[in-house]
Amino acid sequence: MSHYPALRMRRRRSASWMRAMLTEHRLHPSDFIWPLFVCEGEGEEQPISALRGVHRYSIDRLVEKVRQAKEAGIPCIALFPNTPEDKRHEEEALDPDNLICRAVRAVKDKVPDIGVMTDVALDPYTPHGHDGVLAEDGSVDNDRTVELLARQAVVQAEAGADIVAPSDMMDGRIGAIRDALEEAGHPNVAIMAYSAKYASSLYGPFREAVGSSDRLKGDKKGYQMNPANGGEALAEVELDMDEGADFVMVKPGLLYLDVVARTVDAFDIPVFAYMTSGEYAMIEEAAAAGAGDRDAMLMEALTAFKRAGATGILSYHALEMARRLG
Ligand code: PBG
């Protein structure tokens, strides 16, 4: 009997051509959805201090960025508004001329054939920074919020959104939005449900970007999921599928790859994952502190989403990565 190992796994890693041949998962520009922040004005490109390298763009600049995304092979962008101070009230979300609707119309007009996704939630509008309207007791009123969200989704669809993405975590909102879209004559507008959205500590830089951080009173634990729960995510996904979600999302992504993998295993539906603002900052700040090779860390982190089985990744690094990969 030989004392040699029957199978030497290292044989498979012995040359770069061998490693290339045996690679199981590869990123591609079409894996990315690029979240972009929009602000009022012209020629604006405002840095976001907690998100090194990310900016808010006025609509004219946004259109240029979306054109670059299209050229780099990114299939879809996601838009988030920084609502002006004097417009921080719920009705603003329903105004067909609000910032987000104007941005959608401009992008659809100027950059054909790229998907546009909009965020359905009230936090960029509410004076208190919560994702819905408040009940007497200070909690978010589920059913009144759902009514508003359904109207908000229709307003966004009317502006030209291809995908509406409810990120609010109210119960029953997917069904209500689906019905409202059908009734308003938008059967082809898709719903990306933020199905498993956690009450995470990793949204801080995003809240700075949309200007809700100083406003937010309390936390979102009464509607977003408990980070300690995995199985509950499957129940959320199943409900959203039953109510008509076209795709589902797990958010945050990097710290929740177990949830991504379980969802992929359990259901036949496209599963997206959001590498959130805090996860972006983890890599950028670690790299800035000299903790590792930024490009390598980024590639490794984003490839992990593919290994977990995600169909696509929402990432602030999308344009850079699409260019690197293209
Ligand atoms: C709110 C919303 C949040 C994010 C996307 N939509 C923040 C929150 O729930 O407070 C976070 C995205 C990120 O951190 O990158 N509707």
139-152 tens-digit pLDDT:
999 999 999 999 99
Supply the ipTM of this predicted assembly: 0.97
Give this prediction's pTM: 0.97
Residue 272 Cβ inside 6 Å of ligand 1? The answer reads: no
Nearest residue by C-alpha to atom 14 in ligand 1? 203
**What mean pLDDT is predicted for residues 284-308?**
98
Residue 1 has a pLDDT of 63
Mutation to probe ligand 1, out of 117, 194, 206 (largest number of atoms < 8 A from CB): 206
Q: What are the chain's domains?
A: 26-325 (3.20.20.70)
Residue 279 Cβ inside 6 Å of ligand 1? The answer reads: no
Residue 160 alpha carbon to ligand 1 centre in Å: 22
14-26 tens-digit pLDDT:
999 999 999 999 9
How does 70-109 read in b/e, with b if 16+ C-beta sit within 10 Å?
A: bebebbbbbbbbbbeeebbebebbbeeebbbbbbbbbbbe
Distance CA 57, CA 47 (A): 9
**What mean pLDDT is predicted for residues 110-139?**
95
Residue 285 has a pLDDT of 97
Residue 93 has a pLDDT of 97
Distance CA 198, CA 195 (A): 9
Which residues are designated catalytic?
A: 197, 251
Query: Is 236 annotated in some ligand binding site?
Result: yes
> Would you say residue 242 has pLDDT above 70?
yes
Residue 203 alpha carbon to ligand 1 centre in Å: 6
57-85 tens-digit pLDDT:
999 999 999 999 999 999 999 999 999 99
Residue 182 alpha carbon to ligand 1 centre in Å: 27
